[in-house]
Chains A and B, each alone.
Chain A
Amino acid sequence: MKRYSAFAIAREAARYHTGWERAWRSPEPKTHYDVIIIGAGGHGLATAYYLGKNHGIRNVAIIEKGWLGGGNTGRNTTIIRSNYLQDPSAAIYEKSRSLYETLSQDLNYNIMFSPRGLIMLAQTHHEVRGYQRTAYANALQGVKTEFISPARVKQLVPIMDISGPRYPVLGGLYQARGGTARHDAVAWGYARACSDMGMDVLQKTEVTAVRSEGGTVTGVETSRGIIGCKKLSIVVAGHSGHVAEMAGFRLPIESVALQALVSEPIKPCMDVVVMANTVHGYMSQSDKGEMVIGGGTDGYNNYTQRGSFHHIEETVRALIETFPMISRLKMLRQWGGIVDITGDRSPILSKTPLGNCFINAGWGTGGFKAIPGSGWAMAELVAKGEPGPLAAAFGLDRFREGRFIDESVAAGVAH
């Protein structure tokens, strides 16, 4: 792999950019791999990357039915934060956030991590108490956050109306090192690094069946033939129920559409990510100048990648109340992704009823921020067959044992 650098840009500029090579190979599938990962979203690719980097397992295929990052990884609003309440969540999300800090250098691929700061608005007294409690919990967990005053919120976000008629801003939970990153670049950067380690990223290859013998997976059937494996990892987000059915087990997951929209680009006006969970809307400004807006989830199971129209209305109404100046912006695009919501709204990194099959799912509406940490923890689980400290609390057995991670980390509201 030729490394990207300022020098490389100068060299290519001097020869009409004829020397760039493809970022990743598109090989024919082999007949057998040590590990097959179903799903080339961020979580699948990161799992593969850390399998190679941390555990030396490189005979790996990542199988994707569509294109790289065409699932939720390329459809999300890219909010990154780690200000969670419960210890297991704070641990894995903070690991993830800290890996994001140096991911561009690590992958030699600019993922445009922008730790511009993130505020979660407190607009009811209940929220004030809740976020103060989170700030204290974060202090104990070593996650740097603070509870800030309305005046400080206004200072950070001048375009916000903090004295709105329904829900005036009473404060905010501020994480200065939260922010955003370029979603596609995260998938592309990991894919390039995986390909460079000799792994096969197989796009346009759909897994149609899982083959097993006596409780052990032997391989998968795909639209490009049967491929064998020693271990299987299912990382397909909204399609988890569907693929688990192929493998013969059920999950505590329901899939719904979550939508987002972006406005026409405007001059820089907001350099912080703002989430307003009571009125339900969140917004950031992309480097291109578009206002990136996250909507709500549908109330009922579906796989439409579109979402119900009335949720857009609710979201836009909430945001206009919070940021009156956006009321005349035109919206450019709207889209949806299928998110996987678990029974306790926390993710699953787990063994399964099949001995050599593992699952990573349930990140729901908030797993972009978790990609590096989840991949790190999942690679350990797949390599060793047992979860390490980051994944231990997220096993499937918690639903039977009633050991929930009671946090709406993946709920239909916040990201």
Chain B
Amino acid sequence: MLLLNCPCCGVDADETELAAGGEAHLKRETVGAEDEAFEAYLFMRDNPRGVHFERWRHAYGCGKWFLAARDTVTLEVFGTYPAQTKKPPKAIENALKKKRPDWKGWA
């Protein structure tokens, strides 16, 4: 059972209330992009065993998108943060470095 705190409305939402949206912080490509860049945006994924940054939507709550840092093996949640960011906030990065010393860092 996964619980995520929605930073938009503050609710601790159960996974049945949420819709997963896949890897976060992808560079969105558009008209004029090379095939390779488009492929990377649409299909290529890190799919790590461990720390994963991902998109979620509070589908049966406030309806808004947000982002989360989560471990894909233990399901530990390191924090959630607003979708309007290009990279994870410093606080989450610091927490991650402490909890997962072997984490390869924010790319």
Contacts and interface: CB of A to CB of B under 8 A. Distances in A.
Contacts of A309: 1
A342 B75 CA distance: 22
Interface stretch (A143-151, A247-255, A370-378): A247-255
Interface residues of B, number: 27
B39 to A, nearest CB: 4
- Interface of chain B: mostly helix, strand, loop or mixed: mixed
Contact of B43 (A245, A302, A399): A399
Given A308-B15, A343-B42, A400-B39, A302 B73 contact: yes
Nearest to A404: B43
A301 B39 contact: no
B48 A308 contact: no
A299 B39 CA distance: 22
A303 B73 contact: yes
Contacts of A254: 22-23, 45, 47
Count chain A CB atoms within 10 A of each CB in B35, B45, B73 and give the residue with the most.
B45
Interface string A327-354: 0000000000000001100000000000
B46 A250 contact: yes
A125 B15 CA distance: 31
A401 B43 CA distance: 12
A38 to B, nearest CB: 15
Q: How large is the interface on A (under 10, 10 to 19, 20 to 34, 35 or more residues)?
A: 20 to 34
Contacts of B36: 400
Given A300-B54, A303-B72, A308-B2, A250 B20 contact: no
Interface in A99-145: none
B44 to A, nearest CB: 5
A32 interface: no
A401 B42 CA distance: 12
B22 to A, nearest CB: 7
- Interface of chain A: mostly helix, strand, loop or mixed: mixed
A242 B45 contact: no
Contacts of A310: 15-16
A301 B52 contact: yes
B78 to A, nearest CB: 15
Nearest to B47: A241
A250 B44 CA distance: 6
B19 interface: yes
B43 A252 contact: yes
Nearest to B35: A400
A304 B75 contact: yes
A399 B20 CA distance: 22
B42 to A, nearest CB: 7
A239 interface: yes
A299 B19 contact: yes
A239 B1 contact: no
A342 B16 CA distance: 24
Those 9 A-B pairs whose CB atoms lie nearest each other, nearest first: A241-B47, A252-B43, A300-B20, A343-B43, A299-B20, A400-B39, A250-B44, A399-B43, A302-B72
Given A299-B20, A302-B73, A400-B35, 15 more contacts: A239-B49, A241-B45, A250-B45, A253-B47, A299-B15, A300-B2, A301-B22, A302-B72, A302-B75, A304-B75, A309-B1, A310-B15, A399-B39, A400-B36, A401-B35
Interface of B: 1-2, 15-16, 19-20, 22-23, 35-36, 38-40, 42-49, 52, 54, 56, 72-73, 75
Interface of A: 239-242, 245, 250-255, 299-304, 308-310, 342-343, 399-401
